[in-house]
């Protein structure tokens, strides 16, 4: 019988925790007890361990004898230790014993809710009753001999410990580098740390919120952060314990990391509280954009680099197949670029490359992809375009570049032309590599036919 009872108790500690918590809420004890679930779990765990230790020591016979030495009884020892701890916290014996009656009731409820036979249930319930009788004897052994002076000293010591703990956590809260706001469901800012005060440009020192004069006009969260109002309302109305996200304001000039967290209080005293963390991540986002730009663009011209272009090309190919539209792929090469470098220097050659990209961007659509393929060769992808539109785009681009001019370092006006080879992708059996080879072949033909021209080659199925 004993192993069965022990296992049943240990397997149902979560059930017991929820039961005692419900009793405590119903009878108003949670106003004076811990707000955290872990404290209630540990209280049940401690009782269950003491019950099992008592059963191991005494077996099924827990009846109370007139000459029994309760000081050596595991159940009474547990009661003595608990009485010492709670008396130091200022809990009086009547409140403590009252709550313990509901712990007793929770364990009895567990036995009654079991599938054991009625006779077994009766025996187990008697064991539970005698166990709690022994625990309460331990309370009395600890509580009754204590004089008032000793109780006062215990309370003074406990108060000093609690004050030090409060000051420790206050210091940690004020030392946090991220702005933290404690907000009620009504939107009133109950507290904020020093970083939050600095964020709002308040001229305060750490601890002002605790030790300074309280403002008679409550600070409203929506007045400070109107752009977070809708997020805050959705979080309150939802069931998420925590919600984190990034958002931007002021036309994307500022970025913030936001965290909403519900209070972990299960007693109901502080359950209508939201902890809000607001961190300005504008500098980080700016750096991320710069790093992304460095990773995806050609540093000299600002066009996409080869790797980035190919990644975007693959995505655009998938979209074109999904939505059934064609693509035009251009390979562009500057005519006689070596002569420009040889006659005017590489600095001027770099100017020509930058001029080509700038002028190309001026006539391309936002959806077009333009990249530097290598050296003086560039690659261009135009989505949703047919052969006639592609011809027109190629000629317009060639003409704009031919008419552009720039000045060398020696003050000489320079003009340049380009050759363009292009193909149309409108068949699902054409690969990216196959399309590039086709456009490159068309470019070779444009060079061979005299340069400063655009040549088209049909892309056919590779099957």
Give me the phi and psi of 190, to 5 degrees please.
Answer: -80, -30
**For residue 88, pLDDT beyond 60:** yes
Contact 390, 368 (CB under 8 A): no
Buried-state track 397-421, b at ≥16 Cβ within 10 A, e below 16: bbeebeebebebeeeeebebebbbb
pLDDT digits (tens, 9 = 90+) for 324-340: 999 999 999 999 999 99
pLDDT digits (tens, 9 = 90+) for 36-46: 778 888 889 98
CA–CA dist 381, 366 (Å, integer): 11
Which one-letter DSSP state was computed for residue 440?
A: H
CA–CA dist 184, 379 (Å, integer): 57
**For residue 205, pLDDT beyond 60:** no
Contact 200, 215 (CB under 8 A): no
- Of the ranges 64-68, 247-251, 313-317, the best mean pLDDT one: 313-317
**For residue 225, pLDDT beyond 70:** yes
Distance from the Cα of residue 290 to its chain's centroid: 23
- Of the ranges 18-27, 133-142, 416-425, the best mean pLDDT one: 416-425
Q: What is the pLDDT of residue 162?
A: 59
Contact 425, 326 (CB under 8 A): yes
Contact 265, 273 (CB under 8 A): yes
Q: What's the mean pLDDT in 258-276?
A: 87
Q: What is the pLDDT of residue 259?
A: 95
Contact 220, 250 (CB under 8 A): no
Task: Count other C-beta atoms under 10 Å from residue 203's C-beta.
Answer: 7
Whether domain 297-456 has CATH 3.30.70.270: the reply is: yes
CATH 1.10.490.10 in the chain is located at 2-146
What sign for the dihedral angle of Cα 296, 298, 304, 306? negative
- Among 38, 376, 405, 458, the active-site one is 376
Q: What's the mean pLDDT in 382-392?
A: 94
Whether domain 177-285 has CATH 3.30.450.20: the reply is: yes
CATH 3.30.450.20 in the chain is located at 177-285
Please, which pLDDT band fits residue 463 given cuts at 50, 70 and 90?
very low
Contact 253, 152 (CB under 8 A): no
**For residue 388, pLDDT beyond 70:** yes
Architecture in CATH of 2-146: Orthogonal Bundle (1.10)
CATH 3.30.70.270 in the chain is located at 297-456
Q: What's the mean pLDDT in 433-443?
A: 95
CA–CA dist 397, 393 (Å, integer): 6
Decide if 462 is catalytic.
Answer: no
CA–CA dist 300, 295 (Å, integer): 13
């Amino acid at each position: 019988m004993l192993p069965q009872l022990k296992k049943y108790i240990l397997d149902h500690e979560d059930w017991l925790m929820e039961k005692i918590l419900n009793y405590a809420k119903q009878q108003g004890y949670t106003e004076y007890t811990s707000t955290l679930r872990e404290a209630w779990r540990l209280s049940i765990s401690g009782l269950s361990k003491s019950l099992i230790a008592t059963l191991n020591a005494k077996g099924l016979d827990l009846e109370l004898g007139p000459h029994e030495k309760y000081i050596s009884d595991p159940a009474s020892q547990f009661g003595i230790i608990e009485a010492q701890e709670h008396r130091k916290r200022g809990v009086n014996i009547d409140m403590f014993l009252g709550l313990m009656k509901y712990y007793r009731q929770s364990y009895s409820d567990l036995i009654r809710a079991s599938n054991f036979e009625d006779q077994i249930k009766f025996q187990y319930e008697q064991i539970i009753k005698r166990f709690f009788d022994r625990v309460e004897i331990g309370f009395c052994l600890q509580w009754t001999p204590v004089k008032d002076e000793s109780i006062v000293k215990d309370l003074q010591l406990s108060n000093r410990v609690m004050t030090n703990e409060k000051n420790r956590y206050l210091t940690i809260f004020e030392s946090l580098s991220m702005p933290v706001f404690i907000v009620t469901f009504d939107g009133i800012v109950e507290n904020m740390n020093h970083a939050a005060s600095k964020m709002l440009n308040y001229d305060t020192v750490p601890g002002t919120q605790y030790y300074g004069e309280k403002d008679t006009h409550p600070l409203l969260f929506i007045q400070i952060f109107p752009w977070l109002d809708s997020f805050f309302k959705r979080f309150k109305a939802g069931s998420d314990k925590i919600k984190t996200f990034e958002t931007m304001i002021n036309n994307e000039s500022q970025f913030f990391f936001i965290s909403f967290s519900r209070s972990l209080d299960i007693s109901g005293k502080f359950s209508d509280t939201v902890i809000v963390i607001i961190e300005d991540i504008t500098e980080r986002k700016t750096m991320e954009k710069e790093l992304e730009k460095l990773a995806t663009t050609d540093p000299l011209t600002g066009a996409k680099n080869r790797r980035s272009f190919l990644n975007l090309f693959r995505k655009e190919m998938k979209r074109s197949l999904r939505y059934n539209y064609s693509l035009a792929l251009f390979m562009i090469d500057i005519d006689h670029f070596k002569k420009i470098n040889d006659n005017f220097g590489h600095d001027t050659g770099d100017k020509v490359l930058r001029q080509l990209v700038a002028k190309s961007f001026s006539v391309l659509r936002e959806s077009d992809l333009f990249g530097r393929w290598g050296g003086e060769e560039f690659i261009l992808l135009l989505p949703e375009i047919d052969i006639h539109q592609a011809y027109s785009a190629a000629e317009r681009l060639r003409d704009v570049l031919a008419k552009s001019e720039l000045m060398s370092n020696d003050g000489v006006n320079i003009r340049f032309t380009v050759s363009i080879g292009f193909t149309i992708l409108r068949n699902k059996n054409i690969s990216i590599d196959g399309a590039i080879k086709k456009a490159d072949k068309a470019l070779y033909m444009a060079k061979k036919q005299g340069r400063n021209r655009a040549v088209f080659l049909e892309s056919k199925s590779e099957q």
